[in-house]
Amino acid sequence: MTDQAAIQGHSAAQNRAPIEFTGVAAKYNNGHVALQGITCRIEHATSTALVGANGSGKTTLLRLIAGLIKPSEGVISPHTSKKSVALVPQQHGLRAWMPLTVSDVLRMSRFRDRGLIKRFGSADRSVIEEAADRLEVLDLRKHQFGELSGGQRQRVMVAQALAHDADVLLMDEPITGLDMPSQEAIIRIIDEERKMGRIVVISTHHMDEAELCDQVLLLANRLIAVGSPAEVLTNKNLQDAFGLRMAHGDEDDCVFHGEHDSHQGGVLHVFSDHGHGHDHFDR
């Protein structure tokens, strides 16, 4: 075996390794402990749903997997830099004011692979077209991104993430608030990506979406239960996870502030329609 082949073989093996959390806690800068005692394992070729009330730590867990924040305790292995990760963040309503076409948004996905100088090639084009086709947004390419419906925009964001061919696909509440065809398209993608061997992790408030995943992590700032949907989504567990908050009708979403970026090495793609200039970054 050549050195190069050995290196590639090694990195392929690392890419196939599961993601393992051992006693992980996450503490934000203000001292708030968002998660603690998280021990779990996420295999390739599986889909995992993070379920829990607002503020239960779903987004924090996705950020830990993405390497955007570091555990304050415990270990996540392999280090996220060993895998490429695509993250579709939670949508926060209409902030798509950027003067970009759908085609522009999709092309952003290929900046890492071609570099900024190399010409955009036919390989880039075909990867993007395939992703756009899978999300049924090919016909929208000439449209302004900001003029799309919420469901169309989210399908474009998912297509952009797919065009990266990352080892790990993370989506934060990908179907919340979308029209049914968009929800169905994204649910189909979760299943297809998992069958292609990727690790897929989503957060969701939709029990029917969680039930379609291989594994469910039920969170309440700690792990209430982990296992198959049937094992985890029991009345007792759901009451433990949601009980108090449901009684109080807490439907507000959490606001993020002061998060730090600590993804080191590897490749992280964050896809957001916020248009603040840091939506898409490679490491």
Q: Which residues bind Mg ion (CB under 5 A)?
A: 58-59
Q: Which stretch binds ligand ADP (CB under 6 A): 71-79, 94-102, 124-132, 255-263?
A: 255-263
We find the least distance from the C-beta atom of residue 30 to ligand ADP, in angstroms, to be 5
Beta sheet of 33-42, edge-to-edge order:
33-42, 19-27, 73-77
d(CA 262, CA 152): 31
Burial 24-39 (b: 16+ CB within 10 A, else e): bbbbbeeeeebbbebe
Size of the site for ligand ADP (CB under 6 A): 17
Single-letter amino acid, residue 253: D
We find the least distance from the C-beta atom of residue 178 to ligand ADP, in angstroms, to be 18
77, β-bridge pairs: 20
Answer for which of 36, 47, 60, 160 binds ligand ADP (CB under 6 A) is 60
Single-letter amino acid, residue 96: A
Q: Which residues 91-130 are close enough to bind ligand ADP by CB under 6 A?
A: none
Identify whether the C-beta of residue 46 lies closer than 8 Å to the C-beta of residue 63. Answer: no
Single-letter amino acid, residue 85: V
Answer for which of 19, 34, 65, 105 binds ligand ADP (CB under 6 A) is 34
We find the least distance from the C-beta atom of residue 156 to Mg ion, in angstroms, to be 21
How many angstroms separate the first and last alpha carbons of the chain? Answer: 29
Answer for which of 104, 130, 259, 265 binds ligand ADP (CB under 6 A) is 259
Q: Which residues contact 5 (CB under 8 A, 6 or more apart)?
A: none
Give, to the nearest 10 degrees, the angle between helix 150-162 and helix 122-134. Answer: 140
Q: Of 208, 132, 220, which is closest to residue 176 (Cα–Cα)?
A: 208
Residue 248 contacts ligand ADP per CB under 6 A: no
- Residue 7 burial (C-beta neighbours within 10 Å; 0-12, 13-18, 19+): exposed
Q: Which stretch binds ligand ADP (CB under 6 A): 53-61, 92-100, 142-150, 231-239?
A: 53-61
Answer for which of 6, 12, 188, 256 binds ligand ADP (CB under 6 A) is 256
Position closest to Mg ion via CB: 59
Residue 144 contacts ligand ADP per CB under 6 A: no
Query: What's phi and psi for 65, nearest 5 deg?
Result: -65, -40
Residue 59 contacts ligand ADP per CB under 6 A: yes
Answer for which of 119, 142, 248, 257 binds ligand ADP (CB under 6 A) is 257
Answer for which of 93, 99, 258, 277 binds ligand ADP (CB under 6 A) is 258
Answer for which of 46, 55, 73, 100 binds ligand ADP (CB under 6 A) is 55
Binding site for ligand ADP (CB under 6 A): 28, 30, 32, 34, 52, 54-60, 254, 256-259
